[in-house]
Each structure stands twice: as structure tokens, then as C-alpha cells.
Amino acid sequence: MAGPSTTWHVEISFSEDANHTDAVAVLRTPDDREHRGYGQARRNPADRPAPLIGEEVASARALSNLAHELLESAATQIEANVQRRDPAV
């Protein structure tokens, strides 16, 4: 039997100039923890400006970084919840 369903939302914001796009992906968990991922894209000076491409690359990198942050957080929580046994017992 499955438990109750939960939905998490990620908000991605951008800051841009003519050659760079920075993205921040923010996830707030139901227990009010906040996780952030960061990504950046840089336009090759020989390429035409295409802001949407920069946003896609920067957001993909931010989401990838966020995924790593979530895995690290989960690993830390798992480690804290592991019950250690005394090898002498």
C-alpha cells in the first residue's frame, strides 16, 4: 500500500548579461529545509546571442548541482540514522 503523495517544487532564477547566464535552483522541502544548486553558461563570442540556450544550459547545470546537494544531504541523514553496533558486543 502506498503512502500519501508529496510534491516538491523547484524554482529557478536567472541573472544574465550579453555573454553569461547564471542560474540558481532552489528546493524547499516539507520540513522547511532549503537546498540550492548553481549553474552557469557562457556564450562563445563567435556565436550569435541566444538567451534561451544559455538559460537551458545554466538551469541544467543548476539542477545537476542541486541533485548532488540532495544526495549529500541524504547521505548525511542516513549516516546520522545508522545504528552503530559495538564490535566487542
pLDDT digits (tens, 9 = 90+) for 43-66: 998 999 888 999 999 999 999 999
Q: List Cβ neighbours of 54 (8 Å cut-off, separation of 6 or more).
A: 16, 20, 21, 41, 43
Position 4 in a domain: no
* Higher pLDDT, residue 2 or 31: 31
Q: What is the CATH number of the domain that holds 21?
A: 3.30.160.240
Q: Which of 46, 42, 7, 40 is nearest to 24 (CA)?
A: 40
In a domain, 1, yes or no: no
Q: Classify residue 2: in a domain, yes or no.
A: no
In 3D space, the residue among 11, 12, 18 whose CA is nearest the CA of residue 51 turns out to be: 18
Q: Which residues span the domain enclosing 60? A: 10-81
Task: Determine, yes or no, domain membership for 88.
Answer: no
Residue 38 falls inside a structural domain: yes
Q: Which cell numbers in the block locate residue 61?
A: 547545470
- Total domains present in the chain: 1
* Grid coordinates given for 25: 535552483
Task: Identify whether 43 is part of a domain.
Answer: yes
pTM for the model:
0.83
